Every structure is written in structure tokens, then in C-alpha cells.
Structure 1
Amino acid sequence: MFQGTGSNVGKSVLVAGLARALTRRGMKVRPFKPQNMSNNAAVTADGGEIGRAQALQALACGVAPSVHMNPVLLKPQSEHGSQIIVQGRVWGHRQARAYQEVKPLLMPAVLESFSLLQAEADIVLVEGAGSASEVNLRRNDIANMGFAQAADLPVILIGDIDRGGVIASLVGTQTVLPASDHERIKGFIVNRMRGDPSLFDDGMRFIAERTGWAPCGLVPFFGRMKELPPEDTGDLAAGWQGSGALRIVVPLMPMIANFDDLDSLRAEPEVSLAFVTPGEALPPCDLVILPGSKATIADLDFFRAQGWDVDLRAHYRRGGRILGLCGGYQMLGRSVADSGGLEGAPSQRTGLGYLDIETELMPTKVVRQIEGSLLPSEAPVSGYEIHAGVSFGPGVTRPLVRFSDGRSDGAQSEDGQVCGTYLHGLFDSAASRETVLAQFGRTSDPFDNTQRILSALDALADHLDDHLSIDQMLSLC
């Protein structure tokens, strides 16, 4: 099990790279994260939800994602509450404090999923969540040392030198943990070293001598990180990325979800894409994309509070185009109603009014993989739906996508400037990207997005082979 001294120390990426490295050695590897918190979800073949990071790790292993790779997924809907997904399905909603009390109810499902993966693998790489030293949450823990104890696992602790204080964070973790927990830690990794690695030789020795843990490697910063799908909004860089002539703007809202929809676009040579942070105006551009949201009404209110609705009107009057994805699609309609209080207290909001549709949020959640074609070009698309709303009205008679089962999806404005869809993965198809970019007079690089990610994973595996003592870690297991 790989645990961290804190959030965002690189656990997910290191597990993905190690999964790739061990898979290339001929081992049957499976990733596992008992509990994840993310609105960036992936959809499994059986219609379940798991964290996007575990889907990336499954790709590294050369296997299809499974709900058992991430049996508990928390999807934040506010600063204090989350939807709880257990083995791929909605289990309930809890405020943060109330969730601490229900975690023991979830441990049997977590252990069941882990056991199923063990049965089909040579090795399971388990990823912890947040910090291993959160002793205030230890009593009912299912994500870090609580799970390590329940499954009787050795632990390797990861610290991030790039953020500073890595010696104190690693040694301090041992200091605050009870002996029964810190004795499970067998080794440590220092991640994201920049500059001359030899400058930290004494640091590695100090940590090893003070803790008694085996030094498993000092990992330099991985230069191709941006080619891997980001897991958290903290990984989304503000400002312009890329140098292409086609300028695309994405407002960064608090409950943004499934933002990996934009990864393929960001990789296009003729695209410059900017995430606009709160407090900034939407800059002049060719296309504004409203991304998915886990709380459409709350994000719609936030959008207006930033004055982005005024910026969007100016963009539209200048002839700019607008695309809404899932929650963003719902916002572009005439109204969004949450009569059942799915996202909080029952409420209704006037939408931004660019599409002639209305949306009613429903308790039944649609989660499925799909294939289809983009209209009117018939360019093939594939991806997934993951939403809890139904959109209807005259606008849906001008759909954006036709699914292979005959259903249509999305809507387009009469003037063609605005469109939206529930489809996630719209730009992963080279043919659909080519169609979209051609509307702006730009050409597309016909890369295969999955192969692009696999290439980066292979480079990461090479990187870890060079800088980690992988055989030593296997012996510690």
C-alpha cells in the first residue's frame, strides 16, 4: 500500500507508473483505492462509477476498469457534503461529519472488492487517500492505516520534496502515528525532486536513520506529467496553455466535474486553452466551453456571481461560439429545476437562455458507456453519460449527437452558435476533433488519445525503473 504525507504528493501517478512497470515485467497487476474523493469520475462497462485515477491505473495494467478498483467514491456536492458511491452505485448522501460515522458500514464492501482483485492478480497496488497522519480521523478509517490494518498490508510512504518540508513531513508522520501503524511502514519514497539529486543524499540518509524505514528512491520531476489526465482541480493550470491560434476558454467553477473531457483538445497543436479562475473576466476567444458540474444550480449561481454571464453575452454578440457539456449543457437552457432537492434544498433557476430547453434534475442517475456520431457530420464519437437530469423542449429537435442505439442527445441553437450535450469524451475521437476544429478553419492532429496516454505511461514506467528500487519494494511485500 502506498500512502502519502499529504494530498497531491503524487500517489496516483506513482501507482500508475509502477503498475505499468510491473505489467511490462509480465505480472498481473491491479490498482486499488479503498476510498477516493473526486468529481472526475470514469464509467465502467457495467455502468458503475470509479475515480478517474483508478481508470488510468487500470489502463496502465492493460485491463478494463472495474468498480472494485475504487469501491468507495465520494463526489463533493458542496464544501461540506458528498454523494457516496459504493461499488459503482449511488449509496447515499452525507455531510462530512455524518460520513465519519457511516464508514464502518462501508468497510465490508471495501474488503470484498479488495479480495476479488487479489484473486485475479499477482500483486495489488493499493493507494491511500490524503495524509497517512490524520490521526483525528483514525477511529473509523477505511482509506489509510485503517485499511492497511484490516487487510494486513505493508506500507510505503510518499513525500513530496517540491512543496518543501519533506524531511519533517516523513519523520513527523512516524512521530504522530501510534506504533501499531508506523510499524507497518516499511519504506519511503521522496517524489518530485528538481535539480541535482545528490543534494538530497544526506536527507535520504537522515530520514532512513531516524525512522528505520528503507529508502526506496528519490524520484525526479516527471517532465511528461501534463500528458496524463489530471485527477483534481488543483492540477488544472490557470492561464493560457498551448500556442495555437484557436482560443478556447473554460470557466473554472467550484463543482467542475469530468474535466478530462478537455484533455484531447489541450493536446491539439492549433489550440490554446485557458481555465479562467474566479475573479477574472472571460477573455476574448473563439469558443467558450461550460464543463460538467456535480452541482448545476450552485455552479450556475457562482457563474453569475462572477459576472461571467455578462462576459458570455458579449462573447455571443461578437459571434463567438458556446459549447455546454453535461452540467454546462443544462446551464445553457431556459431553466434548471431541482424539485426533489437532489443538490440541496428544492429550488429552480432561470438558465442562461442560449438553448431552447428546460432541465429537471431527477433522482435516477444515468451512467453508461456509449457510441454514436456527431451531427450533422456523422463523425464517430464514443464516451459515456453520467448525469441526473432530463432535458426537454424544442431545442432537442436539433440534437448534437446520435447514439448507436438510435437515441439522440443534446441541442443546437437555430443560429448554430451554441450547442450542448450530455456526452463525455466528445473530443477523444480524432474524427470529432477534426470536425470541430474545421468549423473554425483549423486542422486537427489525428492522434489516438488512448495511445497518447499509453506512451506517457511507458515513459513514466521507464522513469520509475531508473529512479526507484522496484525489486526492493517487491521484497518488502
Structure 2
Amino acid sequence: MPTNKTLMIQGTTSDAGKSLLVTALCRWLARRGVHVAPFKPQNMALNSAVTADGGEIGRAQAVQAQACGLETHTDMNPILLKPNSDTGAQVIIHGRAISEMDAASYHDYKRTARAAVLDSHARLAQRYDAVIVEGAGSPAEINLRHNDIANMGFAEAVDCPVILVADIDRGGVFAHLVGTLALLSESERARVKGFVINRFRGDISLLEPGLKWLEQETGKPVLGVLPYLQDLHLEAEDALPRETVSAKAATTLDVVVPALPRISNHTDFDALRLHPQVTLRFVGPGETPPAADLIILPGSKSVRADLAWLRDQGWETAIRRHLRYGGKLIGICGGFQMLGRAIHDPDGIEGEPGSSNGLGLFDMETTLAAEKQLRNVQGTLALDDAPVSGYEIHAGVSTGPALQRPALQLAHGPDGALSDDGLILGTYLHGLFDTPSASQALLAWAGLADAEPLDYFALRDAAIERLADAVAQHLDGAGLLELIQTKEMPA
């Protein structure tokens, strides 16, 4: 067996393609028999997943684990930061929330966090033949270099090579690459072993003079150019989707989701975005809530503050009008809590201590508590007893008569609520639409006749396969294997 090795992918900017390239390399290596694991030292994201060992990590690392054929584990993302304001975040170490910190406090805490990062990496390196690491943001953020544990600070600590990826679709790709190198220290520049250019469209021969210049200017190889893959879906690490999904059926169900300032786990809606009979739209600040067949209130990291935003944007009036005309409404996690009579935060879990009036559509109240519920679950929907699976990540406990008519029956007990008139459904379950049978039942309930089942897990795996194929076709495979210092395993 080969000695385990670590290769780190860093980007010139956020959304340059780090998550994508790590996912692609993980599947490409796994297909060749390499026992590989993903790793991200520090992640700042509101999209998260529950691991097999009962913790919480960034959702991108859960997708990368799928690419490796592995169950998720908290060591794959030892530090997760979940912003709850412009200056503060919940700090999650090894899958468990330990504190709320502002940016300055966390900067001082990084020395302690560094130990958690190195411990997790050491365990993965001991268990696997290769560890593919994803950086965060850009290593050229010089204001964050002190005590860095997300980019070059980590790479220097474990002495691993780095590949720098840049998105040519943004424009200025050569400036991004050369400028990033210029802002690194001498030892960090030496650690960069090559470049990957992502999302290229057009005639590659027109790019080749620039590639030759780049190699001559920097003395580093271009390991390949990945093409722009049309209609590729890979779950977003945090930002809302910036592309629409094409080729919808003529008759669709119209779904709208308010883009809350602290929206969390918006990956709940990826299965709907990809469904050929559904048109889904995120509605942002300043936009008038449009007419729709189904409104979904999403999860939130700051439920009371996002509920106030919702009211300020006119959604409460729009929701009541929507229900009067027979439209359907779903609340997921924080969105479910908003549907009750009140939300109490006596300990200031998500902001200033206090209480807020809810929308009053369910006879229930929610009290936020420090201890999170973290679990992967299975069960059935009240609608047609359709099988459903997903995960729970929430800090609130809801009580009240509305819960006597649950929306789901899960292995650990009932969940959520279904209104007496059948127009409103609330649940703590994330991944509500990911199971084909559950998606079909929910869409039929919302008014879509002859709703087709959609296997979201299979679609995600097909996207991962497309990425691995692109690596095999367009990147220097021998050069990559040399960097990792591993060999393909016999078939």
C-alpha cells in the first residue's frame, strides 16, 4: 500500500472551484482504488450536514465523502463557523457547537483551533492512502494570514503541496494567479506546484499562448484546464445558486422561497431546482413576493431576526393572502418555528435575549436552547405514508397542540405539524424533497398532478462522475499522482 499523502487545493478567490476540484479528485482517485478522504480545516458556511458519528460539518465535505464512497465524519471538517451576524458566528469544533464568537475573539482563538485541525488531519492521514484538502477563500487574504489554519498556514504545518485553481469565467484569470503568487511568502510560493484553470468555454487553442506565458512567468506548470460543464449541479457550500436550471416542462409548479439574510441549508431546495416539473425562485430583499403554488420558509441561523426581516419585506401579508386563495405553505426548521405563536430565546442563543411573536399559523411555541438536535433520520410522511429520510440540525424545542397532528412519523417519534385545513406543513427535517417518494407526495399535495419522482442522490452522483471524467480527460493525471506520491491500485 502507498504511504498516505496530502494534497491541498487552494483558490485565487472564493467560488474559484476548490470544492468542485476536491470532489472531482476524490472520485477520480477512488475509481482507481486509492483509499482517499476529503478534508477542510476550516469552513464558514450555513449549509451543513449531520455526520455518521453524530456531529455537524460543512455540506461540501459531505458531498466529497460521497465522492470517496465514505460515510461522513467530523474529522473531515474539524472547524465549522456558522455566521449569525455580520461580525459573529457560532463556532463548531469536531462537530459540536462550543461558543458564539465575534471575529476578533475567534482570531485570538485560532491557536486552540489549530490543534483541533492538526489532530483531525493526523487521524485521517493515518487511516487513508491520500487526503485531498480544500482551502478557504484565498491564501492571498493577507489580513488573515496571522495564525492562519485554513490555507497556507495549514499547508506549511503539515508540509503538503498545493494546487492553485482559478475561475476563467470570472475574467482576469492570469492576474488572479500571478497576483496570488506575488502575495505569498517565498516558502509558500515554493509550495504551489501547479495551476488548474476552471470553467473554460471556447477554443482551447486560443488560450494556449496565455498558458505558455503563465508557465514561463511563474516557472510552474498548468496541470490542466477544466471545461465549463453546462447544467452541472454540485451542492453550494454557502452562497445561493447563481444559475438557473434549464429545460423545464411546459407545465410546472411555481415555488418561491424568501432568501432570508441568514438562510441555512438552502440545499434543501436543490432537488426542487432540478425537478423538471418545478420552477423555483429565491426572492431577495426589495422584491415583491410573487404569486406561487407553494411558498417554503427555509431554515435560518437567526430565526427571530429573519422573522423580523420577513415582516419588513411584506411576506406576512403575502403569506396570509396566499393561504386565503388555497396556496400551500411549508416551513422547514427555522421556517417551521416561524409558523408558531411565539419564539423565545431567553439565553440569547441567536442574538439578544427575548421573545418574538410568530406568524400564528400553528398553535405552538418554540424555545431556543443551547443543546442542538443532530441526527440522521428516516420515517414516513403523513401524506400517503411516503418514505422519507433526511437530517435534523436545530436548537429549538417546540411545544403546543399543533404538534398533535404531526407531518411526519420518524424512527424516534412524531415530527412537525399539518394544519387542519391541509394547507400548511411544518417540519424540522432537512432533505425533505431528496427522497423520490417523499418528493412525489409533497408535489402532488402542493398541486402538481402526475408529479414525477426524482432521485436526488443519483443525480448528485452522476454530477460527481461527470467531474471525475473531466479530470481524467483534461488534467495531467500522472502529474497529480506524483504530487500525491501514490499509485493506482490494481483493479
Q: Same fold (TM over 0.5)?
A: yes
Could you say which residue in structure 2 is the equivalent of 1:218? 225
Match of 1:28 in 2: 35
Whole-angstrom distance in 2 between the partners of 1:455 and 1:15: 16
Pick from 310, 316, 337 the counterpart of residue 303 of structure 1. Answer: 310
Partner of 1:12 in structure 2?
19
Conservation of the 8 A alpha-carbon contact between 2:383 and 2:441: no
Q: Within 5 A, what are the aligned runs for 1:267-282? A: 267-282=274-289
What does 1:196-211 align with in structure 2 at a 5 Å threshold?
Answer: 196-211=203-218
Asked whether the 8 Å contact 1:224–1:456 carries over to 2, the reply is no
Give the share of equivalent positions with the same residue, in percent.
49
State how far apart, in whole Å, the 1-side matches of 2:336 and 2:102 are. Answer: 27
Counterpart-to-counterpart distance in 1, 2:450 and 2:73: 36
Q: 1:165 aligns with which of 169, 172, 185?
A: 172
Counterpart for residue 430 of structure 1: 436
Tell me the equivalent position of 1:55: 62
Cα distance in 2 for partners of 1:139, 1:432 equals 48
**Partners in 1 of 2:304 and 2:67 — Cα distance?**
36
2:375 maps to a residue whose letter is: R
Deviation per CA, 1:312-369: give whole Å up to 9, x if none. 1221121111100000000111111111100111021111111111111111111111
Is the CA contact 2:247–2:276 (under 8 Å) kept in the aligned structure 1? no
AA at the equivalent of 1:171: V
Q: 1:37 to 1:435 in 2, by over 3 A?
A: same
Q: Aligned residue for 1:285?
A: 292
Say whether 1:77 aligns with 2:120: no
Give the Å deviation of 1:444.
Answer: 3.0
* Map of 1:114 onto structure 2: 121
TM-score, normalization: structure 1?
Answer: 0.97
Change in 2 beyond 3 A, CA 1:210/1:240: closer
Structure-1 separation of matches of 2:243 and 2:164:
27
2:383–2:442: 8 Å Cα contact kept in structure 1? no
Partners of 2:437 and 2:97 lie apart in 1 by 34
SS at match of 2:207: helix
CA deviations 1:76-124 (Å, max 9, x no partner) are 1111111011111112111112211111111111111111111121111
CA RMSD across the alignment: 1.5
Distance change (3 Å), C-alpha of 1:236 and 1:337? farther
Alignment check: 8 A CA contact 1:229 1:263 kept: yes
* Matching residue of 1:331: 338
Per-residue deviation, 1:48: 0.4
Q: CA deviation at 1:404?
A: 1.7
- Unaligned residue ranges in structure 2 (runs of 5+): 1-7, 485-491
Amino acid at match of 1:296: V
Q: Does the residue aligned with 2:343 lie in a helix, a strand or coil?
A: strand
Alignment correspondent of 2:451: 444
**For the residues of structure 1 that align with 2:271 and 2:174, how far apart are their CA atoms?**
38
Query: Is 1:464–2:471 an aligned residue pair?
Result: yes
Find out whether 1:64 has 2:74 as its counterpart. Answer: no
Aligned equivalent of 1:410: 416
1:26-79 deviation digits (Å, cap 9, x = unpaired): 111110000011110010122100100000000000011110000000011111
Q: Which moved more, 1:186-195 or 1:234-243?
A: 234-243
- Alignment check: 8 A CA contact 1:437 1:443 kept: no
User: For 2:198, what is the secondary structure of its paired residue?
Assistant: strand
For 1:47, the aligned partner's letter is G
State the distance in 1 between where 2:458 and 2:357 align: 42
Q: Secondary structure at the match of 2:373?
A: strand
Cα distance, 1:441 vs. partner? 4.2
5+ residue gaps, structure 1: none
Q: Contact 2:231–2:245 (CA<8 Å) still a contact in 1?
A: no
Counterpart AA for 1:214: P
User: C-alpha distance in 2, partners of 1:235/1:147?
Assistant: 29
Distance 1:134 1:209 in 2: 25
Counterpart position of 1:348: 355
Give 1:233's aligned amino acid: A
Aligned to 1:386: 393
Question: 2-side partners of 1:41 and 1:82: how far apart?
Answer: 14
- The match for 1:97 is 104
Give the one of 60, 80, 93 matched to 1:86. Answer: 93
The one-letter amino acid paired with 1:446 is: P
1:235 aligned counterpart, secondary structure? coil
Superposed, 1:166-181 pairs within 5 Å as 166-181=173-188
Structure 1 residue identity aligned to 2:346: S
Whole-Å Cα distance in 2 between the matches of residues 216 and 429 of structure 1?
Answer: 38
Given that 1:16 and 1:457 are in contact with CA atoms closer than 8 Å, whether structure 2 keeps it comes out as yes
Flag the 1:428–1:210 CA change in 2: closer, same or farther, 3 A: same
TM-score, normalised to structure 2's length?
0.94
User: Contact 1:71–1:88 (CA<8 Å) still a contact in 2?
Assistant: yes
Q: Render the CA deviation track for 1:157-180: whole Å, top value 9, x for unaligned.
A: 111111111111111111111112
441-450 vs 200-209, which moves further? 441-450
Distance 1:240 1:62 in 2: 29
Q: Give the Å deviation of 1:461.
A: 0.8
- The code of the aligned residue for 2:468 comes to A
> Which whole-Å CA distance do the structure 1 matches of 2:242 and 2:168 have between them?
20
* Distance change >3 Å, CA 177–CA 113, structure 1 → 2: same
In structure 1, distance between residues paired with 2:283 and 2:247: 11
1:124 matched residue in structure 2: 131
Contact 1:373 1:404 in 2 (8 A): no
Query: CA-to-partner distance for each residue in 1:143-202, whole Å, 9 max, x for gaps?
Result: 000000001011111111111111111111111111121111111111111222221111
- Alignment counterpart, residue 157 of structure 2, candidates 150, 155, 165: 150
Maintained 8 Å contact 2:252/2:448: no
2:488 aligned partner: none
Query: How far apart are residue 475 of structure 1 and its match?
Result: 1.4
Number of aligned residues: 475
**Higher deviation after alignment, 242-251 or 154-163:** 242-251
Q: How many angstroms apart in 2 are the aligned matches of 1:52 and 1:286?
A: 29
Q: Which is bigger in relative contact order (C-alpha 8 A, separation at least 6)?
A: 2
**Secondary structure of the corresponding residue to residue 382 of structure 1:** strand
Contact in 2 for aligned 1:373/1:403 (Cα 8 Å): yes
Partner-residue secondary structure (3-state), 2:375: strand
Q: Residues of 1 paired with 2:423 and 2:239: CA distance? A: 28
8 Å CA contact retained: 2:245, 2:274? no
